Chain A
């Protein structure tokens, strides 16, 4: 029994970490600007393909793991500055429609460049083996992914709670007008915040490629669970997104083991239950980043 369930639990937690990562990126952007970035998954996919291309041109995986997210940040910030910024002051429906359109365009562009089917993108040999945990073999790649995602989340938390810039960001989420009347250029905050979201998406994209399979729809497939995770955790709560992500990942993989047919609906059931008990989500507060 244990040998059956344990791998599912671990795999579920890692899947959940990806959901959490995407959810946090979405929340960062939504909290500050009110933009629901439906193109978030497309940026994630872009990073995967960029890493794939870099590696196939001879770059090392490790270098691609850094460079692809950075390139994604550049592309993301250019799009934000040119297309999304003019919509910040409008009704959120405008940016929602824009980013939805962008995600459709991106998916087609990826199909044109990299083909409609998945491309093989595997991690270097050193991550290929497994580590024995006694009762099971645990793939090194998954362990590596777990460590990188966890480290990135710790860094993000330190940035938000231990730097002046993070402090400004948390204040601006509550009142952008006051923070600019106190001497902060709000446009710089918007840009850095969006870049942060892109960096998270980019990192997740490269890591997910080896695990979920790199295809034009890889990122978008993570988007819906990520929204569910954000809602379960409590919109805007960093900690909530992490807990929500792990819960959903766990629920999906364990359900797959016992009732495979229900593995897609389980997260919605979980969401419904959480919302019945706590309408603001597990860690949702009135303010954000509570």
Chain B
């Protein structure tokens, strides 16, 4: 096995008695942007949660930088350099923009500081004293990404960053993701909008009913009309 940054092997995760993930295996190499696609309920978010230690997998392993981190509590996974931009943004609503960022600072050092984030995203600087619960959805998504950035993660897990946002803002979000990738941050990107994700991804996995049903180079998948149609929900789900 080549030395992947993140290597997930045969993960099985349950919520109570329901078996959500079935032998999910995937990997992210250094500097790679990998898309994890699939319809709603396919198990994408659960896969992320299992990697992060927010939901404990019943079997299988998660390796990060060669280290077995299966079942580690999420704060320890995070301290290894795994950032998280959750679905729905999950702001600390009562905290200001600046406070949201201060919380994320790790003191680990790295390219991103609060100053630098404000330079890159001047809109956030303007709003720095505002409670994050009072930002627009787009501003919250930016803050959610900025929050992960200031921790200077080696790997970012980004869950549905385009959800519910206006096209212009989605474009801006994806621009930042591309910049991060260019700076060497590895990204695992969960996205329902397959075409959007495939434009920036190196490789992609497709999940269905808790299983990985496809994996390959992003450009190849982009040409697979049937798969794209299924993923974009233009046709009945192929079972």
Return the contact of A164 from the options B73, B102, B133 (Cβ within 8 A): B102
Considering the chains assembled together, what is the distance between the CA atoms of A184 and B77 in angstroms? 10
For A290, the closest partner residue in chain B by CB is B94
B93 within 8 A of partner (CB):
yes
Q: What B residues does A2 contact at CB under 8 A?
A: none
Q: Are A171's CB and B90's CB within 8 A?
A: no
Q: What B residues does A170 contact at CB under 8 A?
A: 92, 94-95, 99
Considering the chains assembled together, what is the distance between the CA atoms of A287 and B131 in angstroms? 11
Q: What B residues does A285 contact at CB under 8 A?
A: 94
Q: What B residues does A175 contact at CB under 8 A?
A: 90, 92
Q: What B residues does A60 contact at CB under 8 A?
A: none
B129 within 8 A of partner (CB):
no
Q: Are B92's CB and A171's CB within 8 A?
A: yes
B75 within 8 A of partner (CB):
yes
Considering the chains assembled together, what is the distance between the CA atoms of A170 and B92 in angstroms? 9
A56 within 8 A of partner (CB):
no
Total A-B pairs, Cβ < 8 A: 67
Q: Are A182's CB and B147's CB within 8 A?
A: yes
> Of B21-29, B78-86, B167-175, which binds chain A?
B78-86
Q: Are B74's CB and A174's CB within 8 A?
A: no
Q: Are B95's CB and A181's CB within 8 A?
A: no
Q: Are B78's CB and A181's CB within 8 A?
A: yes
Q: Which of B94-125 contact A (CB under 8 A)?
A: 94-95, 99-100, 102-104, 106
Query: Min CB distance, A113 to chain B, in Å?
Result: 40
B20 within 8 A of partner (CB):
no
Q: Are A168's CB and B103's CB within 8 A?
A: yes
A227 within 8 A of partner (CB):
no
Query: Min CB distance, B64 to chain A, in Å?
Result: 14
B8 within 8 A of partner (CB):
no
Return the contact of B95 from the options A164, A171, A182, A185 (Cβ within 8 A): A171
Q: Are B104's CB and A182's CB within 8 A?
A: yes
Which A positions have Cβ atoms within 8 angstroms of B? Answer: 164, 167-168, 170-171, 174-175, 177-186, 285-290
Question: Which 8 residue pairs across A and B have the least CB separation, nearest first?
Answer: A287-B94, A183-B78, A171-B92, A180-B75, A181-B74, A181-B84, A180-B74, A174-B92
